[in-house]
Amino acid sequence: MRPKVFITREIPENGIKLLEKEFEVEVWEEEREISRKVLLERVKDVDALVTMLSEKIDREVFENAPRLRIVANYAVGYDNIDVEEATKRGIYVTNTPDVLTDATADLAFALLLATARHLVKGDKFVRTGEWKRKGIAWHPKWFLGYDVYGKTIGIVGFGRIGQAVARRAKGFGMRILYYSRTRKPEVEKELNAEFKPLEELLRESDFVVLAVPLTKETMYMINEERLKLMKPTAILVNVARGKVVDTRALIKALKEGWIAGAGLDVYEEEPYYNEELFSLENVVLTPHIGSATFGAREGMAELVARNLIAFKRGEVPPTLVNR
Ligand code: DGY
């Protein structure tokens, strides 16, 4: 009998096709997330599970899934999974690094540029007819933004995504600072990046990009005290996880001008709604779409399938998290 895998959302066909060769595949096909109740029901007879970052995979799930041997998260971040509990139970956990690195770094840079140069505000100005209503063709003081080329970028978290952001920054002639738990001398050389303690990085950067995983150490790492260290002309970009930033402090910082703006792709709760934040003009907001390119999502689907197939064949899954 073929092992059974349950996929909690429709992932790209390429991944499903690969899985169908070796597994009995069931897919949750609704657009809406699977409810907790239904998830607990559906895991009862599965050997493998493909999960999204929006599902909490914890002891309760494991207790309801006596046959479960592997959870393949369709994301590079796996803060939604209790890996320690999985490991205790001998359940493998895998993620999808590499394949989404460039897509996420591109989005970080898109947010950086969009915030610095008022892209969204400008778009609204044109499409709502405000420009036409004003009847002024061009004004030397309209939509003044911040220079990006040649400025200083501070990258918090210098893993794959942080380094990919640095590669883009290099093309923009930027001075590159980074903060990470461990220093990376070989990359420092390649990218001409300087390691800085977090506080110094915040003080010196014109743009701060967050690219850390969410852990006990990074939870609310960007708090009121640290936001106050940033330049009043600086822009914060978050493509990591919402809980790396204390949103209440960030709103205060944006309202009171401790910093100039923010580009956010991730939020403390998702889906997110916050009128106070939405009323601010100096923010650009996207709905957690860091890896949302056709290429990245197909790469993620293939990697999920490769992990599950390797597991089924008794091999070590290529991107195992619990070693
Ligand atoms: C991830 O894979 O962790 C990203 O947040 C998805 O965009």
Instruction: State in Å: Cα 161 to ligand 1 middle.
Output: 11
* 261 ligand 1 Cβ < 6 A: no
Return the CATH fold of 101-285: Rossmann fold (3.40.50)
Residue 131: strand, helix, or coil: helix
Residue 32 is predicted with a pLDDT of 94
Instruction: State in Å: Cα 39 to ligand 1 middle.
Output: 21
Residue 241 Cα: closest atom of ligand 1: 5
Q: The dihedral of CA 105, 110, 116, 120: what is its sign?
A: negative
User: pLDDT grade, residue 75 (50/70/90)?
Assistant: very high
Does the pLDDT at position 323 exceed 80?
no
Phi, psi of 99, deg, nearest 5: -65, -20
Catalytic-labelled residue, pool 9, 241, 297, 306: 241
Task: Tell me whether residue 62 is annotated as binding.
Answer: no
Beta strand extents in 235-275 (DSSP E only): 235-238, 261-264
- CA 178 to chain CA mean position, Å: 18
User: pLDDT grade, residue 121 (50/70/90)?
Assistant: very high
Residue 300 Cα: closest atom of ligand 1: 2
Same CATH fold assignment for domains 4-97+294-312 and 101-285: yes
User: pLDDT grade, residue 202 (50/70/90)?
Assistant: very high
Q: How far apart are CA 28 and CA 75, in angstroms?
A: 17
Q: Which one of 3.30.1330.30, 3.40.50.720, 3.40.50.300, 2.60.40.10 gives the CATH number of domain 4-97+294-312?
A: 3.40.50.720
Task: Tell me whether residue 36 is annotated as binding.
Answer: no
pLDDT per position as a tens digit, 213-224: 999 999 999 999
User: pLDDT grade, residue 115 (50/70/90)?
Assistant: very high
For the beta carbon of residue 243, count every other beta carbon within 10 angstroms.
Answer: 17
pLDDT per position as a tens digit, 223-252: 999 999 999 999 999 999 999 999 999 999
Instruction: State in Å: Cα 239 to ligand 1 middle.
Output: 8
Residue 321 is predicted with a pLDDT of 98
pLDDT per position as a tens digit, 125-180: 999 999 999 999 999 999 999 999 999 999 999 999 999 999 999 999 999 999 99
* 71 ligand 1 Cβ < 6 A: no
pLDDT per position as a tens digit, 253-312: 999 999 999 999 999 999 999 999 999 999 999 999 999 999 999 999 999 999 999 999
Report field, pTM of the whole predicted structure over 0.80? yes
Q: Whose CA is nearest to atom 3 of ligand 1?
A: 77
Residue 1 is predicted with a pLDDT of 87
- Average pLDDT of the residues of the chain: 98
Instruction: State in Å: Cα 103 to ligand 1 middle.
Output: 10
Domain boundaries of the chain, sorted by first residue: 4-97+294-312, 101-285
